[in-house]
Chains A and B, each alone.
Chain A
Amino acid sequence: MEKRKQRTGSREHFRELHKSTYEALFYYLYSRTADKQLAEDILQEAYILLWEKREELKDLAAVKTFMYITVRNKLMTHNRDSSTHNRLLENAPGIFASSLDDSELIVEAEVVAQVRAAVAKLPSQTRRITLLSLQGYTVDEIAERLSISPNTVKTLKKSAYAQLRTDLAHLRNSWLLFFLFLD
């Protein structure tokens, strides 16, 4: 049987990097631009650059540092070149951009990404239900979306609650209670 070799520099390695960094970076950029397309385009360029530099980045912290600096530089270049967008941000920062400064926004993005990683450790179906709940769907809507019975949704929500409590024992769990047991 043919055995696939996986090395640093392999497609699998890239997937790991993308998976463990994308959401936080997207949140950072989207909070600054409120422009999904712009955020995704900047990230594409940044990941290409990351791949060229991967040998120099020894661990995930170095990768993250490189990515935040890169996307921020690209965003500044873009804003300089596109004056209308700049004006939009200046006129309505409360609506289109986060009020947090860069350092605070990185802290928020990284902390929340880790909380979501704890959610991601749940079994697949339970995880899907938990994430849909987080997005505000009701039990019946989730049941319909996933083609399963409302009772199944309720049971799996309860087991998710039990496991998240173990993983995030000290997180104030009012919001967990809220999204898992509302209705």
Chain B
Amino acid sequence: MFALHNTEESLRTANLVYRFIADPASLSDGERAKVEGWIEESESHRQLYEDMVSGRSLERFGHACARTDRKAHQKAVEARLFGFARRRRRLAGMVAGAAAAVIAGLFLTLSGGEQPIHVLPEGSVQAYILTDGDRTIGLGGMDTVINAGTYRAVAGTSAVAFEPRRPGTPEPPQCKTLSVVVPAGGMYSVELEDGTRVQLNSGSSLTFPEFFGDKAREVELSGEGFFEVAPDEARLFTVRTGDMTTRALGTSFNVTAYVDNGTFYSTLVSGITEVSIAGGATETIRPGYSAIYNTGTGNFAVVQADTAEATAWRGGELIFAGMELEDILKTLSRWYDVDYVYTDRALTGRHTFAGKADRQEDLLSILRRLNSLGGPRLEINGRTITVNPS
């Protein structure tokens, strides 16, 4: 009889197998042995594992899902659970929208006829908590208390606060690893169990243990975050971003490490930090200075920085003083969950702009303003910005 126990066991196996495939470094020796044991258990398991890593499983899954319409199914169940009222209104809106799109044609220039594009509105899901890469909890949509066995947290519309470590709870490496992932269009803050506050920009993630140990506090950042580190002389606070590491005691600093940008920044607002490159230099940073690391060339330098400009994103602003167009587009693509494409790569690296943009603005009005300043002509089609010769 295939029942509760077998199903739970299968779900646990699936978790381990996924991590074995996607992130083997996150597995303990015991977990790795468990997955290997599962694979070797039978010819059928070996074949299934081969299918999963070769893409055959993905193809089967894709073919099956192409036969169903998830949203339609969701709406059908919703209608049974909650009634029809809102569905009718949305359908009417969709028809009007579709008609407008047909009339407007395929490729729209920025003439004022497009649908506005906004960041994720307040009250919608802005971020997710992943536990060991799985068990997703949406954050920002509602006020909620998360009670996940070992850790507890209180989540609101703009921030989640983890409760301090209680005596007797496991510390790294025995405890789980959590990530707060902020997708494009979102913005969210995290208060870690030690009291350190981290504000995360769109398209960023912060990975940290459920509880810090007695000797160190280590987190990993991808994207951009502003850190206000809770003072604790006994335990240095370390932010890892690829090859660049920022170490701090009680300080506030901004770290920018978007992999697609190729340049990482660690800008100090107050206190003191130490920034080091794997296998390279270590520099002590003073307030008002920024460590800049080029991930391509390996160049590493400390320069004076405008801290107001570097942290303007926290208030929902993008200040660009002589910023290259592509860097502006990268930021906009993360804020508004859009893509951008150059029709001619010769247009890159040649146009810089100075100005200000606000997250509350509609994307089209920002693009119109950029167009009015000259340079390449920006068009938008659906959710893709196209950069054309002027």
Interface of A is mostly: helix
Q: Mask for B48-77, Cβ within 8 A of A = 1, else 0?
A: 100111110111111111111010011011
Asked whether B48 lies within 8 Å of A100 as measured between CB atoms, the reply is yes
- Distance A155 CA – B21 CA, assembled complex (angstroms): 27
Q: Which chain B positions have C-beta within 8 A of A19? A: 70, 74
Asked whether B123 lies within 8 Å of A121 as measured between CB atoms, the reply is no
Q: Which chain A positions have C-beta within 8 A of B384? A: 125, 148, 152, 156
Cβ contact of A121, chosen from B53, B66, B138, B183, cutoff 8 A = B183
- Per the 8 Å Cβ criterion, residues 121-171 of B in contact with A are 122-123, 125, 133-138, 141-142, 144, 147-148
4 closest A-B pairs by CB:
A175-B55, A110-B14, A6-B142, A106-B10
- Per the 8 Å Cβ criterion, residues 63-122 of A in contact with B are 64-65, 68-69, 72, 99-104, 106-116, 118, 121
Say if the beta carbon of B281 comes within 8 Å of chain A.
no
Asked whether A124 lies within 8 Å of B7 as measured between CB atoms, the reply is no
Cβ contact of A27, chosen from B61, B125, B135, cutoff 8 A = B61
Q: Which chain B positions have C-beta within 8 A of A61? A: 8, 11, 135
Asked whether A115 lies within 8 Å of B58 as measured between CB atoms, the reply is yes
Known contacts A44-B73, A114-B134, A118-B22, A106 near B11 by CB under 8 Å = yes
Say if the beta carbon of A181 comes within 8 Å of chain B.
no
Identify 6 new A-B residue pairs, CB closer than 8 A, beyond the known A31-B60, A112-B57.
A10-B142, A19-B70, A23-B70, A65-B11, A115-B58, A147-B382
Query: Which of A6, A72, A116 is most buried by chain B, counting CB atoms within 10 A of its CB?
Result: A6
- Per the 8 Å Cβ criterion, residues 30-70 of A in contact with B are 30-31, 36, 39-40, 43-44, 47-48, 51, 58-61, 64-65, 68-69
Asked whether A147 lies within 8 Å of B106 as measured between CB atoms, the reply is yes
- Distance A51 CA – B81 CA, assembled complex (angstroms): 8
Asked whether B125 lies within 8 Å of A174 as measured between CB atoms, the reply is no
Asked whether A40 lies within 8 Å of B343 as measured between CB atoms, the reply is no
Known contacts A104-B48, A108-B48, A151-B343, A125 near B142 by CB under 8 Å = no
Q: Which chain A positions have C-beta within 8 A of B3? A: 69
Asked whether A14 lies within 8 Å of B106 as measured between CB atoms, the reply is no
Q: Mask for A1-45, Cβ within 8 A of B = 1, else 0?
A: 001111110111111101110110011001100001001100110
Asked whether A102 lies within 8 Å of B6 as measured between CB atoms, the reply is yes
Cβ contact of B141, chosen from A6, A23, A103, cutoff 8 A = A6
Q: Mask for B282-294, Cβ within 8 A of A = 1, else 0?
A: 0000000000000
Interface residues of B (CB under 8 A from A): 2-4, 6-11, 13-15, 17-18, 21-24, 44-45, 48, 51-55, 57-68, 70, 73-74, 76-78, 80-82, 106-107, 122-123, 125, 133-138, 141-142, 144, 147-148, 181, 183-184, 259-260, 333, 337-339, 341-343, 381-384, 386
Asked whether A123 lies within 8 Å of B337 as measured between CB atoms, the reply is yes
- Distance A27 CA – B132 CA, assembled complex (angstroms): 24
Q: Which chain A positions have C-beta within 8 A of B78? A: 11, 14-15
- 8 residue pairs bridging A and B, Cβ less than 8 Å apart: A3-B123, A48-B77, A64-B11, A115-B58, A125-B384, A163-B260, A169-B22, A171-B53
Asked whether A36 lies within 8 Å of B17 as measured between CB atoms, the reply is no
Asked whether A13 lies within 8 Å of B11 as measured between CB atoms, the reply is no
Say if the beta carbon of A167 comes within 8 Å of chain B.
yes
Q: Which chain B positions have C-beta within 8 A of A125? A: 338-339, 382-384
Q: Which chain B positions have C-beta within 8 A of A175? A: 54-55, 58
Distance from A125 Cβ to chain B, minimum over Cβ atoms (Å)? 5
Query: Which of B18, B53, B133, B144 is most buried by chain A, counting CB atoms within 10 A of its CB?
Result: B18
Report the nearest B residue to A110, measured CB to CB. B14
Distance from A144 Cβ to chain B, minimum over Cβ atoms (Å)? 11
Distance from B174 Cβ to chain A, minimum over Cβ atoms (Å)? 20
Query: Which of A64, A102, A123, A148 is most buried by chain B, counting CB atoms within 10 A of its CB?
Result: A123
Q: Which chain B positions have C-beta within 8 A of A48? A: 77, 80-81
Known contacts A8-B142, A135-B62, A168-B22, A111 near B11 by CB under 8 Å = no
Q: Which chain A positions have C-beta within 8 A of B342? A: 155
Query: Which of B44, B61, B181 is most buried by chain A, counting CB atoms within 10 A of its CB?
Result: B61
Known contacts A44-B73, A108-B51, A114-B18, A14 near B68 by CB under 8 Å = no
- Distance A182 CA – B260 CA, assembled complex (angstroms): 24
Q: Which chain B positions have C-beta within 8 A of A171? A: 21-22, 53
Cβ contact of B4, chosen from A69, A99, A148, cutoff 8 A = A69
Asked whether A44 lies within 8 Å of B184 as measured between CB atoms, the reply is no
Asked whether B14 lies within 8 Å of A111 as measured between CB atoms, the reply is yes
Q: Which chain A positions have C-beta within 8 A of B76? A: 44
- Distance A151 CA – B197 CA, assembled complex (angstroms): 43
Asked whether A174 lies within 8 Å of B54 as measured between CB atoms, the reply is yes
- Distance A36 CA – B13 CA, assembled complex (angstroms): 27
Distance from A126 Cβ to chain B, minimum over Cβ atoms (Å)? 6
Asked whether A12 lies within 8 Å of B341 as measured between CB atoms, the reply is no
